[in-house]
């Protein structure tokens, strides 16, 4: 079998990342330079600071990804890069780096949708894995839960997406981040809420579960507002915030809504597998909910591939490339770019 080596580049938000993946699955390297410490002081990602840091990090990160794969650009067949969605100034850094290398080496350039990348994280395995794990089978249902997006997609084959539902307001990760801020937990909110929740009682507060029955859509702003109301009331009464209980009760609600709706859709569309992807798929309670059921095979990436990385961009880029996609060198970034 011919090996197609893809160098993936990702810079859509606050991680600068590069990775070498063979044939869309076998990960030879995966390097991520995170900017978490830089943005901590602002309580969220500061776009201008993010793009400047990407400029500083991108070449060392790409070099390290090639080095760790024991390769140079001469061994690479395709350059895949995140085209969007994301922060314009951040995306441009990855895109221009990819274009420069593609032009300089005469390599094909493939622009990839970041959300699609998250979904393809489930195809990846580290090169040292003795036996490649089975690929997710089509048709499958993908729950995509990240900081900017929450959606359910029916995927009938490689690159064939049908969006069933989407959040009508906050993304799941955004809700974790906002609730963390409300109760005084540090950025990034998702991991902080998970940590606090582990010490709390998930039934301490009865928060609303917005099910939006009859649609596959989600809504998290009511849940977030309910947490805000409780926090305000406790503060007015000069009470100490039961941060762990608040975090645990919020997390239980969010996970329940995501899990229940996904399972319902999986049954309705009679899928062969469920894929859970995006930063929030790192959440332990969400992972346990899906791995604890036995109705459907479930694919959730390892923690290192849940949040933003470039291996997922290389993997999705491979499937586009073998499907005939090669983009021109004047390809522009798309800060807003729906998956389907
Ligand atoms: O996919 P991602 O790295 O970036 C985007 O494409 O948005 O997702 C980041 C989001 C953030 O909102 C972060 O708080 C959330 O994923 N997240 C988590 C956890 N780890 C990251 N949410 C809940 N529990 C976690 N353990
Ligand atoms: Zn992401």
SS3 call for 142:
strand
Identify the CATH number of the domain in which residue 261 sits: 3.30.420.40
192 inside domain: yes
11 inside domain: yes
Give the mutation target among 195, 307, 313 for probing the ligand 1 site: most ligand atoms within 8 A of CB. Answer: 307
Cβ of 146 below 6 Å from ligand 1 = yes
The tokens for 107 are: 């390599």
- Residues 311, 291, single domain; the answer is no
Ligand lying nearest the CA atom of residue 117: 2
Phi-psi region of 119 (alpha: psi -120 to 50; beta: other; left: phi over 0): alpha
In the reported structure, the alpha carbon of residue 87 is separated from the centroid of ligand 1 by a whole-number distance in angstroms of: 16
- Residues 112, 248, single domain; the answer is no
Quote the CA–CA distance of 163 and 158 in Å, as a whole number.
14
**H or E, element range at 145:** strand 140-145
In the reported structure, the alpha carbon of residue 112 is separated from the centroid of ligand 1 by a whole-number distance in angstroms of: 20
Q: What is the pLDDT of residue 39?
A: 87
The domain containing residue 25 runs over which residues? 5-124+305-322
235 inside domain: yes
Number of compact structural domains in the chain: 2
- Residues 113, 148, single domain; the answer is no
Cβ of 86 below 6 Å from ligand 1 = no
CB 283 within 8 A of CB 173: no
- Residues 13, 108, single domain; the answer is yes
Q: What is the pLDDT of residue 44?
A: 83
Cβ of 301 below 6 Å from ligand 1 = no
- Residues 80, 154, single domain; the answer is no
DSSP secondary structure letter of residue 218:
B
337 inside domain: no
Q: What is the pLDDT of residue 38?
A: 87
- Residues 77, 175, single domain; the answer is no
330 inside domain: no
- Residue 108's Cβ-count burial label (10 Å; 0-12, 13-18, 19+) is middle
- Residues 268, 310, single domain; the answer is no
- Residues 102, 189, single domain; the answer is no
In the reported structure, the alpha carbon of residue 307 is separated from the centroid of ligand 1 by a whole-number distance in angstroms of: 6
29 inside domain: yes
Atom of ligand 1 nearest to the CA of 278: 1
In the reported structure, the alpha carbon of residue 95 is separated from the centroid of ligand 2 by a whole-number distance in angstroms of: 16
277 inside domain: yes
- Residues 156, 111, single domain; the answer is no
Q: How far apart are the first and last CA of the chain?
A: 31
Cβ of 280 below 6 Å from ligand 1 = yes
Task: Tell how many helices (H) and how many strands (E) occur in the chain.
Answer: 10, 11
- Residues 22, 162, single domain; the answer is no
Strands 125-126 and 26-34 turn out to be parallel
26 inside domain: yes
Nearest Cα residue to atom 10 of ligand 1: 147
- Residues 170, 256, single domain; the answer is yes
Determine phi and psi for 192, rounding to 5 degrees. Answer: -65, -45
Q: What is the pLDDT of residue 141?
A: 98
Each residue's pLDDT tens digit in the chain (340 positions)?
Answer: 799 999 999 999 999 999 999 999 999 999 999 988 888 888 888 999 999 999 999 999 999 999 999 999 999 999 999 999 999 999 999 999 999 999 999 999 999 999 999 999 999 999 999 999 999 999 999 999 999 999 999 999 999 999 999 999 999 999 999 999 999 999 889 999 999 999 999 999 999 999 889 999 999 999 999 999 999 999 999 999 999 999 999 999 999 999 999 999 999 999 999 999 999 999 999 999 999 999 999 999 999 999 999 999 999 999 999 999 999 999 999 999 999 7
- Residues 114, 196, single domain; the answer is no
């Amino acid at each position: 079998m011919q090996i197609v080596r893809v160098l993936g580049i990702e810079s859509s938000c606050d991680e600068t990342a590069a990775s070498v993946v063979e044939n869309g699955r076998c990960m030879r390297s995966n390097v991520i330079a995170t900017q978490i410490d830089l943005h901590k002081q602002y309580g969220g990602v500061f776009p201008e600071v993010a793009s400047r840091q990407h400029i500083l990090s991108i070449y060392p990160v790409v070099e390290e990804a090639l080095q760790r794969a024991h390769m140079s650009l001469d061994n690479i067949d395709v350059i895949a890069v995140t085209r969007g969605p994301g922060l314009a100034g951040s995306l441009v850094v990855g895109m221009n780096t990819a274009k420069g290398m593609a032009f300089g080496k005469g390599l094909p350039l493939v622009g990839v949708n970041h959300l699609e990348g998250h979904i393809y994280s489930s195809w990846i395995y580290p090169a040292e894995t003795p036996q490649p794990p089975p690929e997710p089978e089509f048709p499958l249902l993908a729950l995509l839960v990240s900081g900017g997006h929450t959606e359910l997609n029916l995927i009938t084959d490689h690159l064939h997406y049908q969006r069933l539902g989407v959040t009508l307001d906050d993304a799941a990760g955004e809700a974790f981040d906002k609730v963390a801020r409300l109760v005084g937990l540090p950025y990034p909110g998702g991991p902080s809420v998970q940590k606090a929740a582990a010490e709390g009682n998930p039934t301490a507060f009865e928060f609303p579960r917005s099910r939006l029955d009859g649609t596959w859509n989600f809504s998290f702003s009511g849940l977030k507002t309910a947490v805000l109301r409780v926090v305000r009331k406790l503060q007015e009464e000069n009470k100490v915030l039961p941060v762990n209980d608040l975090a645990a009760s919020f997390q239980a609600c969010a996970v329940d809504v995501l899990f229940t709706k996904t399972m319902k859709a999986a049954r309705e569309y009679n899928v062969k597998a469920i894929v859970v992807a995006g930063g929030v798929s790192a959440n332990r309670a969400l992972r346990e909910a899906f791995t604890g059921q036995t109705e459907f095979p479930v694919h959730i990436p390892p923690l290192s591939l849940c949040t933003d990385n470039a291996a997922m961009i290389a993997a999705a880029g491979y499937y586009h490339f073998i499907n005939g996609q090669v983009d021109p060198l004047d390809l522009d970034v798309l800060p807003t770019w729906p998956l389907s």
